[in-house]
């Protein structure tokens, strides 16, 4: 045990270091605010500041991407492993990723990591398989990005999103059986079962109306107003429905009427908005939502945007980045299907935002950013400051 005077000196030094770190973070936030104020002085300065601020809004790719590659010789994941859902639980990052084998069926695989980058655990078998009853010739039941542009798969479970609500893991996904059958499925299991890899899924049930084409619905990671909150479209405006029991959507007791239309004459980069990406992330500034969109002159390139929704009224857009936070510029985002970054999972770990995405409909990748700097920049970058314009 240290003498009292020396022990006190150590404690004081620790306090100084902590306070110093707090000062640095506070000064960073003040600097961004000052830049925003200075930007009001002239259009030229405003444009310069916008470029500076947006550097904090761009995700940084992991230098060793891709983090998951197809496994040669596998019956279920030899062709593609992409578009992963993500959870951070029990000190590990857990992924459910979409996998396609030579038979052209989309299944879900599982991998986990201690640091969020090196996935040293990956199961050798799928954790969920769902094949719709479509009648298709055996010769067509194969992996073919040309014949089946939806990731090269003719059917199965696609593009999962995961949240934990009241001790249960809920997974929404696209149940694909041809472009004339595309519904949103939901399945769940207890978090305890998930962590020990006991894949006793409850469901799936289908929550989108029969006879209609829907995809990419996500759940908020907690109940709002005591109900499940379903984010089912973000264009032409953010659309959220609240349901007490998801089974009410499956049996027709409740129906969500989702509308997907492009808002004409938009001023932003995201002229063609596709869908929400990962489930919303709760922050002190609002619900952080990442989404997929295309620019007017690059309609073949999926890019990732960011916006903040009001905590209490999440149909209201508070802030929206004025440029993409990630664009498909790396080789592995153009290796198979050119121009694709597609994210279904994002987590916060050690104050960092980790965004998991599919590159080129082929591999699994990750990009990251310091969360506080990212949020400060998003609030500063948005114009006007309170932007309730529909997407």
Per-residue pLDDT of 17-61, as tens digits, reads: 445 445 444 555 555 665 555 555 556 555 555 555 567 899 999
Residues 317 and 359 in one domain: yes
Q: How many domains does the chain have?
A: 2
With residue 51 as reference, give the H or E element that holds it: helix 43-54
pLDDT tens digit sequence for 187-211: 999 999 999 999 999 999 999 999 9
Please check whether residue 107 lies inside any domain of the structure.
yes
pLDDT > 60? residue 384: no
Give me the percent of the chain exceeding a pLDDT of 90.
72
Q: Please check whether residue 117 lies inside any domain of the structure.
A: yes
CA distance 364 to 282: 24
Q: Please check whether residue 389 lies inside any domain of the structure.
A: no
Asked if 58 and 325 touch (Cβ cutoff 8 Å), the reply is: yes
**Is residue 32 domain-resident?**
yes
Give the range of the structural domain holding residue 303, as residue numbers without chain letter.
Answer: 54-381
In a shared domain, residues 71 and 110: yes
Alpha carbon distances (Å) from 143 to 81, 115, 193, 338: 13, 33, 32, 17
pLDDT tens digits along 138-192: 888 899 988 888 799 999 999 999 999 999 999 999 998 877 789 999 999 999 9
Percent of the chain with pLDDT over 70: 82
Tens digit of pLDDT for each residue in 215-268? Answer: 999 999 999 999 999 999 999 999 999 999 999 999 999 999 999 888 776 778
Please tell me what DSSP assigns to residue 59.
P
The pairing of strands 105-113 and 155-165 is parallel
Residue 85 belongs to a domain: yes
SS3 54: helix
Backbone angles phi, psi at 378, to 5 degrees: -65, -40
- Please check whether residues 38 and 117 belong to one and the same domain: no
* More confident site: 65 or 30: 65
Answer whether residue 33 is part of any domain: yes
Average pLDDT, the chain: 87
* Same domain assignment for residues 17 and 78: no
User: What does the alpha-carbon distance between residue 150 and residue 59 come to, in Å, rounded to a whole number?
Assistant: 26
Say if residue 385's pLDDT is above 50. Answer: no
Note whether 316 and 375 are same-domain residues. yes
Question: Is 34 in the same domain as 64?
Answer: no
pLDDT digits (tens, 9 = 90+) for 266-280: 778 999 999 999 999
99 belongs to a structural domain? yes
Residue 133 banded pLDDT, cuts 50, 70, 90: low
Same domain, 82 and 27: no
Distance (Å, rounded) from C-alpha 227 to C-alpha 155? 31
Does 239 lie in the same domain as 195? yes
- Mean pLDDT computed over 101-113: 97
Instruction: Mark whether 159 and 291 lie in a shared domain.
Output: yes
| Residue 134 backbone phi and psi in degrees, to 5 | -65, 140
Residues 20 and 107 in one domain: no
> Are the CB atoms for 173 and 161 separated by under 8 Å?
yes
pLDDT above 70: residue 93: yes
Give a yes or no: residue 386 inside a domain.
no
Q: Which three-class secondary structure state does DSSP give residue 275?
A: strand
Q: State the CATH number of the domain containing residue 311.
A: 2.115.10.20
- Does residue 115 sit in the same domain as residue 12? no
Comparing CA positions, the residue from 257, 91, 245 lying closest to residue 165 is 245
Which pLDDT score is estimated for 18? Answer: 41
> Are residues 86 and 150 part of one domain?
yes
Q: How many CA atoms lie within 13 A of 51 on its CB side?
A: 5
What pLDDT does 387 receive?
38
């Amino acid at each position: 045990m240290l003498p009292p005077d020396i022990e006190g000196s150590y404690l004081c030094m620790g306090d100084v270091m902590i306070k110093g770190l707090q000062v640095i973070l506070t000064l960073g936030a003040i600097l961004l605010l000052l830049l925003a104020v200075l930007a009001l002085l002239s259009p030229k300065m405003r444009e310069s500041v916008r470029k500076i601020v947006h550097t904090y809004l761009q995700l940084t790719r992991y230098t060793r991407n891709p983090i998951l590659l197809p496994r040669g010789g596998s019956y279920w994941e030899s062709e593609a492993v992409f578009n992963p859902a993500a959870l951070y639980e029990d000190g590990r990052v857990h992924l459910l990723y979409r996998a396609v084998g030579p038979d052209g069926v989309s299944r879900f695989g599982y991998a986990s990591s201690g640091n969020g980058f090196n996935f040293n655990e990956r199961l050798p078998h799928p954790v969920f398989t769902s094949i719709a009853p479509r009648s298709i010739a055996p010769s067509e039941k194969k992996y073919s990005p040309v014949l089946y542009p939806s990731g090269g798969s003719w059917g199965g479970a696609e593009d999962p999103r995961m949240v934990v609500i009241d001790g249960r893991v809920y997974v929404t996904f696209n149940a694909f059986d041809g472009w004339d059958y595309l519904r949103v499925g939901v399945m769940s299991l207890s978090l305890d079962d998930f962590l020990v890899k006991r894949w006793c899924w409850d469901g799936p049930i289908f929550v989108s109306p029969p006879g209609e084409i829907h995809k990419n619905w996500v759940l908020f990671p907690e109940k709002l107003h005591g109900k499940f909150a379903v984010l089912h479209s973000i264009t032409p405006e953010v659309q959220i429905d609240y349901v007490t029991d998801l089974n009410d959507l499956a049996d027709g007791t409740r129906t969500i009427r989702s509308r997907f239309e492009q808002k004409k004459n938009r001023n932003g980069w995201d002229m063609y908005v596709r869908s929400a990406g990962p489930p919303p992330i709760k922050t002190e500034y609002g619900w952080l939502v990442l989404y997929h969109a295309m620019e007017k002159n690059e309609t073949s390139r999926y890019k990732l945007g960011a916006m903040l929704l009001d905590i209490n009224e999440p149909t209201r857009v508070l802030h929206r980045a004025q440029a993409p936070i990630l664009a498909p510029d790396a080789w592995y985002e153009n290796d198979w299907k050119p121009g694709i970054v597609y994210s279904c999972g994002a987590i916060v770990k050690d104050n960092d935002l980790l965004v998991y995405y599919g590159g080129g409909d082929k591999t699994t990748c990750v990009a990251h950013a310091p969360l506080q700097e990212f949020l400060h920049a998003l609030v500063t970058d948005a114009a006007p400051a309170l932007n309730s314009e529909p997407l």
